[in-house]
Amino acid sequence: MQMNRRMLILLACFVACSCVLPAVAHAQLKPGDPEYRFLAGDQIRLTVARRTSLNQQLTVQESGVVTLPIIGDVAVANLTLKEIQIKLYQELRDAYPSVNESDVLVEAVLQHAVYVTGEVKTPGRYMFAERPNLWDAIREAGGPTPGAALDAVRIVEDQSKGGTSRVFNVLEALESGSVDQFPVLGDEDTIVIPSTEDIYTGSFGVTVMGAVARPGTYRLQSEKRDLMTAILASGGFRTDASLKHLKVIRATEDGSTTTQEVNISLYLDKGDASANPLLEPGDTVNVPQQTNWKSNWSLLLSTLAVVATLGFLVVEINRTD
């Protein structure tokens, strides 16, 4: 009886672990991976041999379905690419009996998101099937405006990859015909095209980077050089900005740096002046992104379930002993 009880406890622990491990693995997978399970917003490309009218790109809707002509909605959420291919074939076969399984091909559409802000005709977030280069992103945003300073275009890396910033001379590359020199962009990178009036390289420059509308270096007047003024100069916070963990990075005389964490929401919500410190020449302000807790919620719950089960296991084994 005691042995059977231990076996049941171990079985419960195994079941709990088998639930959380796929969740952990899925967090690392991408749509192109065979084991990836498709979610709302993901895209697939359907190709049907000898029926070109059915060839199209489909987006998984919030309800977890894709919509096919004549057939209607087909639930594909949480299925792998192979499972989706089989399911779409089964649905197509009912409407088009001549379709064979080998005729139906489903491919993942890999998308790369890039933000383009500043002096372009249509600033915004743009998606690309292949990783774009800098000029691809600028053209997708409608091209530069007449006042764009193309010799000082800034590329800001996504915060999850370090958030580094660099400047590229687009004008020089265009004039020399060296299109192959345009850097390839990473996922969630931000491109900032400044105005010729915005460029500042003087002694009082404050660099603002991260989740703001226009990352870059800005001049602040001596009588108005607080943190919030620098944020406003950069176009304000993006919707995904984390207001409680801003960093003000400052170089010291000995060559090292100091970092001050600031909860700017205390200033915005309660008027706490201490949460809106004065800046000094050469300071760098880093506005981090919020953690996407929704995408990690199921993983967190699964992990807690495993922890609880393991705790139960220890208690039960000690009691039976």
The CATH number for 83's domain is 3.30.1950.10
Confidence of residue 24 (pLDDT cuts 50, 70, 90): very low
Mean pLDDT of 105-111: 81
Mean pLDDT of 192-214: 74
Q: How many domains does the chain have?
A: 4
Last residue of a domain, one of 199, 222, 254: 199
**Tens-digit pLDDT profile for residues 151-182:** 889 898 877 677 788 889 998 888 888 778 89
Residue 116 and residue 162 in one domain: yes
Domain assignment present for residue 169? The answer is: yes
Lowest mean pLDDT among 77-91, 125-139, 166-180, 197-211: 197-211
**Tens-digit pLDDT profile for residues 42-66:** 888 899 988 888 898 888 898 999 9
Nearest to 284 by CA among 309, 262, 314: 262
User: Are the beta carbons of 211 and 149 closer than 8 angstroms?
Assistant: no
Q: Give the CATH number of the domain where residue 173 resides.
A: 3.10.560.10
Tokens of 203: 């002694």
Q: Which domain holds residue 148?
A: 110-199
Confidence of residue 298 (pLDDT cuts 50, 70, 90): low
Residue 147 and residue 212 in one domain: no
Last residue of a domain, one of 56, 83, 108: 108
Lowest mean pLDDT among 35-39, 198-202, 240-244: 198-202
Greatest mean pLDDT among 134-138, 145-149, 240-244 lies in 134-138
What distance in Å separates the CA atoms of residue 120 and residue 264, rounded to the nearest whole number? 30
Domain assignment present for residue 100? The answer is: yes
